Structure 1
Amino acid sequence: MDNVDAIVIGSGHNGLISAFLLAEKGWRVLVLEKADIPGGASKSTASNGFTHDLYAMNIGLFLGSDFYKEYKEELSENGFEPVVSDHPYASVFPDGTGIGVHQDRDRTYEALSALSQEDADSWSRLNDYFDQTAPHFMPLMKMELPSFEAGKQFWKMYRHFKISGLLQLGSQLLQSPREFVDQWFKDKKVKSLIVPWGFHLDFAPDVSNGAVFPFLESVLNQRNGMAFSKGGIQQLINSLIKGIEKRGGVVRTGTEVDEILVEQGKAVGVKLTSGEIAYAKKAVIGNITPTQLISRLLDPETLHASYVEKAENYQYGPGTMMIHLELNAPLEWTAGKEYSEYAYIHIGPYVGDLSRTYTQSLNGTLPDSPLLVVGQPTVIDPSRSPEGKNTIWIQVRALPAEVERDSLNEIEPGSWREMKEAYAERVLDKLAHYAPNVRDVLSHKIVLSPKDLEADNPNLVGGDSVSGSHHLHQNYAFRPVAGYSKYHTPIKNLYMVGAATWPGGGLNGTSGYLLANKLS
């Protein structure tokens, strides 16, 4: 293989953004992807005329990224087109009712008022507080931590809020999701509308600092609507690849890296499982996790013992199951016909259920009633399904990577290969309580267990869909490990991007963008 300036291991969107921007600066770039389909945890597959986003689907964070703002026109020319639902999210409940959020702020207020006038007013106050605070702390999510730029932003915040305002904001963001909604709302259904957003990561109801994601996502998704990529998230990935290739870069799929080559403390290239060797003059960038780095790609002897110890202690969150349904007709929700129009519907149903599920998963127990995040992309993107039919995307949170027992004593503990179909039936039983016609209109289903996720993408250890816990000890300037939060490693010219690095999971594009700009 020819020598290049930079090699990117993995074709997750952050790795592709790094490759795109470095190629823009004139670097010769090579992207190497183990899987046959590029995209990492952001890719689509076709089945029976349906298009399924296998893992990630919500592109709201990407649309707010600096990279998208700079290259929006080109990505559009390359085939990427966002579609936005004005019915972004809802929650449904066992009594046949539901509560949904509209992009129209007045309609959201009316929907909340029908349930609780006090909570509708609290929602308005929460939005006001968002407007007062988010413009000051959200820029930090696009900056390296720690950094001089971030320090300046903190200083600006101090000058704006003074010490009392900063302490108040800090106390809000350091709350658990349950503490956050208990402070703002009274009705348990309204609380259950907000809290599930934390569970998209590993912010269970009682995890400190878990309030950040529900605070941001509940407001931003209401205001901006829920955004998907028309034709599947693969269109976004393919548009990035076209941009790389236009600039002379190369993306190879079905090509697994066996080893990162290090000479005199410096990364100089990679060896493939085929035996081929590729050399990189300036950088090797891994869209990987610390455990993958030390267990698969590097001889730990080439690293400082302290780094190896930290990397070995990198922690993953609970696992995820993905279920994709092909339906001959839309779901009919007992909560009302309107719910067939929502992009995402959360079925917890309540905060206490999410808390129990999380504890069960941590203890190796199959949850009796996991959180279901039910995506209905066909409602805003008919191209994903044959005419008159629907595709349903279900994220099942949260599950143990290794199962020791079943909470209902119905499924014999074993390998996920043996259990996944039985557990998928439990999920469908739960869904059928809220959408009774699901089995009548179901023509085909695809079930991906936590182990299937890891087999497809080695970053999703144990089925952790966001490549590592986001708890306080492993977030912000501590992500992925203390002392190495700025995308570097102890090996010169070896860097990391992706969900395992700040700002973590979600299709935000930040780590790839920041690293590429730093290197070039």
Structure 2
Amino acid sequence: MENVDVVVIGSGHNGLVSAFMLAEKGFRVLVLEKADLPGGASKSVEANGFVHDLYAMNIGLFLGSQFYEEYKEELLEHGFEPVVSDHPYASVFPDGTGLGIYQDREKTYQTLSAFSQGDADSWVRLNDYFDQTAPYFMPLMQMELPSFEAGKQFWKMYRHFKISGLLQLGSQLLQSPREFVDRWFTEKKMKSLIVPWGFHLDFAPDVSNGAVFPFLESVLNQRNGMAFSRGGIGQLMNSLIKGIEKRGGVVRTGADVDEILVEDGKAVGVKLTSGEIAYAKKAVIGNVTPTQLITRLLDQKKIDSSYVEKAKNYQYGPGTMMVHLELDSPLEWKAGEEYGDFAYIHIGPYVEDLSRTYTQSLNGVLPNSPLLVVGQPTTIDASRAPEGKHTLWIQVRALPASVKEDSLGEIAPGGWEDIKEAYAERVLDKLAHYAPNVREVLSHKIVLSPGDLEADNPNLVGGDSVSGSHHLHQNYAFRPVPGYSRYHTPIKNLYMVGAATWPGGGLNATSGYLLAHKLT
């Protein structure tokens, strides 16, 4: 195998972003992907004329990234095209009603006013508070932590807010999602409209610092609309790969790295399971988790023992099931015809249900009523299905990695391969309560259990779809482990990017972008 300057292990989007930018600077870059399909947790498959985004689908963070700002035109030339729904998200409830948020701010206010004038006014105040604070704290999400640049941003925040304002902001962001919505709203349906955004990560209702994601996502998705990639998220990955290849880089799939080669404390290349060796003159970049580094890719005798101990304690959140449906006609929502136009519909239904589900999953219990994040991509992207037909993307949160018992006593404990179809039926039963025609219009379903997620992508341990818990002890400057938050490792020339590094999960393109700048 040809010697190169940089080897990237894994083709998740941050690995591709690093490869793209390093190739831009003239480095010879080789990306090695174990799976047959590139993209990591961001890839699409076609079946029966339908296109399914297997895992990630929302590209809003990517569209707000520094990388996209710089390379937007080229990505579009390579076939990537964002499509945006002006009906970004809603929640539906057991009594046949729903509550939705629109990109049109006035329509949103009118809708919320008809439901609760007090909560509508609180929504306006929340947006005002976002405008006052977000320009100061959101830039930190695109900076290394800790860093001189971040220090300057904190100083800027201090000068603007003074100590009292900083304490107020800190108090808001350190709240749990439940505390956050209790602070702003009074009606349980309104609270249930906001809280589920935390559960897209592992911020259950009662997890401290979990307020950050509901705060940001509830407002940003309303303002920007919900964005998907036309033709599937795989089109975005393909456009990144075309950019790499245009610059002389190579992306190989079906190439499983068996070992990172280390000489005198320095990463010098990788060995594949095929026996091939690729030497890297400048860097080896792992789009991996610390768990993979110490258990699969490195000889622990060659790593600092304190790092090994920290990496062993790296924690994963609860698992996720993905259910993809192919429909002969649209769902008929009890809440009303308009709910067929929303990009995402959350079915909790209430905050207390999410809290119970999280506790059940941590205790190894199959939840009786998990959160369903129901994506309806064909409402804005008809190219994903044959004419007149539709796809449904259902993220089921949160599930145990290993099942000890069933909360309802209906499913015998066992491996996920044995029970996933039975649990998927529970998911469909729940969906049918809100959209009764689902089984009538269903032509085919694809079920991916937590075990399937990990089998496809070893970063998704236990089916954790965001590659590691985002709780306070393992976030910010503590991600992935204390002392190694700036994409480096104890081994010279060996770096990490991806969801296991700051700023964590989501299609944000940040770690790949920041590391590429560091290396140039």
User: How would you bin the TM-score normalised by the shorter chain?
Assistant: over 0.9
Distance 2:110 2:454 in 1: 43
Distance 2:517 2:64 in 1: 18
Q: Determine the structure 1 residue equivalent to 2:282.
A: 282
Q: Determine the structure 2 residue equivalent to 1:394.
A: 394
Q: Determine the structure 2 residue equivalent to 1:196.
A: 196
Runs of 4+ in 1 over 6 A off after TM superposition: none
Q: Determine the structure 1 residue equivalent to 2:244.
A: 244
- Amino acid across the alignment from 2:218: S
CA positional deviation for 1:405: 0.3
Question: What is the SS of the residue equivalent to 1:495?
Answer: strand
Distance 1:306 1:188 in 2: 46
- Amino acid across the alignment from 1:209: N
CA positional deviation for 1:115: 1.0
CA positional deviation for 1:261: 0.1
Q: Determine the structure 1 residue equivalent to 2:72.
A: 72
Structure 1: state its 5+ residue gaps.
none
Distance 2:359 2:337 in 1: 34
Correspondence 1:474 to 2:458: no
CA positional deviation for 1:111: 1.0
Correspondence 1:323 to 2:323: yes
Q: Determine the structure 2 residue equivalent to 1:363.
A: 363
Residues 22-54 of structure 1: per-residue CA shift (max 9 Å, x gap): 000000000000000000000000010000000
CA positional deviation for 1:352: 0.1
- Amino acid across the alignment from 1:469: S
Q: Determine the structure 2 residue equivalent to 1:492.
A: 492
1:298-313 to 2 correspondences below 5 Å: 298-313=298-313
- Amino acid across the alignment from 1:210: G
CA positional deviation for 1:459: 0.1
Q: Determine the structure 2 residue equivalent to 1:434.
A: 434
Q: Determine the structure 1 residue equivalent to 2:143.
A: 143
Distance 1:291 1:302 in 2: 15
Distance 1:277 1:6 in 2: 13
Residues 269-305 of structure 1: per-residue CA shift (max 9 Å, x gap): 0000000000000000000000000000001111111
Distance 2:331 2:261 in 1: 52
Distance 2:132 2:389 in 1: 44
Residues 130-183 of structure 1: per-residue CA shift (max 9 Å, x gap): 000000000000000000000000000000000000000000000000000000
Question: What is the SS of the residue equivalent to 2:91?
Answer: strand
- Amino acid across the alignment from 2:286: G
Question: What is the SS of the residue equivalent to 1:219?
Answer: helix
Distance 2:509 2:492 in 1: 23
Distance 2:330 2:461 in 1: 34
1:369-448 to 2 correspondences below 5 Å: 369-448=369-448
Distance 1:274 1:304 in 2: 28
Distance 1:201 1:318 in 2: 9
Correspondence 1:501 to 2:501: yes
Residues 160-211 of structure 1: per-residue CA shift (max 9 Å, x gap): 0000000000000000000000000000000000000000000000000000
Residues 60-108 of structure 1: per-residue CA shift (max 9 Å, x gap): 0000000000000000000000000000000000000000000000111
Distance 2:143 2:450 in 1: 32
Distance 1:90 1:124 in 2: 17
Structure 2: state its 5+ residue gaps.
none
Correspondence 1:36 to 2:36: yes
Distance 1:357 1:291 in 2: 26
Distance 1:43 1:254 in 2: 15
Distance 2:234 2:409 in 1: 39
- Amino acid across the alignment from 2:349: P
- Amino acid across the alignment from 2:282: K
Distance 1:35 1:185 in 2: 45
- Amino acid across the alignment from 1:435: A
Question: What is the SS of the residue equivalent to 1:262?
Answer: strand
CA positional deviation for 1:348: 0.1
Q: Determine the structure 1 residue equivalent to 2:234.
A: 234
Correspondence 1:221 to 2:218: no
- Amino acid across the alignment from 1:265: G
Q: Determine the structure 1 residue equivalent to 2:170.
A: 170
How many residue pairs match? The answer is 520
Distance 2:136 2:167 in 1: 14
Distance 1:300 1:355 in 2: 38
CA positional deviation for 1:442: 0.2
Distance 2:115 2:306 in 1: 54
Residues 245-290 of structure 1: per-residue CA shift (max 9 Å, x gap): 0000000000000000000000000000000000000000000000
Q: Provide the TM-score with structure 1 as the length reference.
A: 1.00
Distance 1:321 1:44 in 2: 16
Q: Provide the TM-score with structure 2 as the length reference.
A: 1.00
Identity %: 85
Residues 405-429 of structure 1: per-residue CA shift (max 9 Å, x gap): 0000000000000000000000000
Distance 1:354 1:302 in 2: 43
Residues 369-401 of structure 1: per-residue CA shift (max 9 Å, x gap): 000000000000000000000000000000000
Q: Determine the structure 1 residue equivalent to 2:186.
A: 186
Distance 1:168 1:363 in 2: 35
Q: Determine the structure 2 residue equivalent to 1:20.
A: 20
CA positional deviation for 1:114: 1.2
Distance 1:436 1:108 in 2: 27
Distance 1:110 1:368 in 2: 35
- Amino acid across the alignment from 2:175: Q
1:88-167 to 2 correspondences below 5 Å: 88-167=88-167
